[in-house]
Amino acid sequence: MSSDTPIVDLRSDTVTRPTPEMLQAMVSAPVGDDVLGDDPTVQELEQKAARQVGKETSLFVPSGSMANLVSIKTHTQPGDEILLDWDAHSLCYEVGSPAAVAMVQTRQFRSDLGVPRMDELAGAIKSSTLHTPGTVLIVLENTHNRAGGTVIPLEIHQRIYSLAQERGLNVHIDGARIFNASIAAGIPAADYAACADTISFCLSKGLSCPVGSLICGSREFIDRARRVRKMLGGGMRQAGVLAACGLIALEKMVDRLREDHEHARMLAESLSGIRGFRVDMRAVQTNMVYFETVGSAAALQAAMKQRGVWFMPVAERRIRLVTHKDVSREGVEYAIKAFQEAAVS
């Protein structure tokens, strides 16, 4: 067997390929120049996405990282302070863009399984004085990636949003996987979005599109965000070929996330029965499984790659697995068997 092509690719849900229907839609999508404002397919996607999360309108951007950056930059002025969780994607994996590009100062609060500690969050808010930067924005992540793909309960969002409104702050939800949260909790994505001024989500993860994210918010906010997107070089011309996939994703790829969650649970339960692995089952809520290994994660990665199962260690003894459309039930069973073999060898 060649180790150059995976049999089961658990590295990320971003590896999902577009469906045949998406490829078909790309060929026949009506397109225009979206920077000039006349690509009908992008416009349709932006309207549909906004409707799905109950916001006025939305903006199609190339990636989830740009969605966060454009949102943060549009919500702030240089020197403002924003609050994020210590393990926030924007802080850990976006190359320092809040500092380097939006020129904001970040302040962190701790979370438990991705759920913010309210006392810390509330205690971190400060008003702008001669000496202090003012806090202007809270960024929340649902599902929470580094915490395990965990879901922030709706009541927490509601409490944070009322606190934010009381103190005159805005809230942005990094909802890269908000539909995973929605499916897992049985709560419409719009209910989460109602607790935020803006929400972004990815089409290119579990929803299987090749490219793209959306920022949803008020028309006034999105008009300003569009200029920031242009400033960052994120204006795309005949982007309708990509937006066409997004339309299919929103219609057909959301409900099936349930399967990915079942597969993650199967994996987690089996791995927790293997000697030398430790899985915190409380964190297994959507399509991710994080686990600790007694031995080296890199060695296990290499041994599993030989068996055609790919994944990424996130620390010396910690591994992340992500389930998605292109991992079937048979694939999950195959991976479990391979883990059992690799663990004893």
- Which tokens sit at 199? 């929400």
Question: Which of the residues 112 through 141 are near ligand PLP (CB under 6 A)?
Answer: 141
User: Which string of x and - marks every residue 75-114 that binds ligand PLP (by CB under 6 A)?
Assistant: --------------x-------------------------
SS (H, E, C) 206-223: CCCCCCCEEEEECHHHHH
Distance CA 13, CA 11 (A): 7
Instruction: Tell me the closest approach of the beta carbon of residue 307 to ligand PLP, in angstroms.
Output: 27
Instruction: Tell me the closest approach of the beta carbon of residue 212 to ligand PLP, in angstroms.
Output: 8
Pick 202 or 216: Cβ nearer ligand PLP? 202
Q: What size, in residues, is the chain?
A: 345
Q: Which of 41-49, 64-72, 95-103, 158-166 is the region at the interface with ligand PLP (rule: CB under 6 A)?
A: 64-72
Question: Which of the residues 157 through 186 are near ligand PLP (CB under 6 A)?
Answer: 174, 176
Q: Which of 61-69, 226-234, 265-273, 303-311 is the region at the interface with ligand PLP (rule: CB under 6 A)?
A: 61-69
Distance CA 338, CA 307 (A): 7
Instruction: Tell me the closest approach of the beta carbon of residue 24 to ligand PLP, in angstroms.
Output: 24
Instruction: Tell me the closest approach of the beta carbon of residue 146 to ligand PLP, in angstroms.
Output: 8
293 lies in the binding site for ligand PLP (CB under 6 A): no
Distance CA 287, CA 274 (A): 20
Residue with tokens 């690719």: 9
Q: Buried b vs exposed e over 62-100: b needs ≥16 C-beta within 10 Å?
A: bbbbbbbbbbbbbbbeeebbbbbbebbbbbeebeebbee
Q: In sequence order, what are the residues at sequence separation of 6 or more whose Cβ sits closer than 8 angstroms to the Cβ of residue 307? A: 1, 7, 338, 341, 342
Pick 213 or 270: Cβ nearer ligand PLP? 213
Binder among 202, 207, 247, 338 for ligand PLP (CB under 6 A) = 202
CA atoms within 13 A on the CB side of 231: 13
Binder among 204, 208, 286, 287 for ligand PLP (CB under 6 A) = 204
320 lies in the binding site for ligand PLP (CB under 6 A): no
Binder among 6, 18, 64, 240 for ligand PLP (CB under 6 A) = 64
- Of 28, 34, 96, whose CA–CA distance to 65 is shortest? 96
Residues that bind ligand PLP (CB under 6 A): 63-65, 68, 89, 141, 145, 174, 176, 202, 204, 213
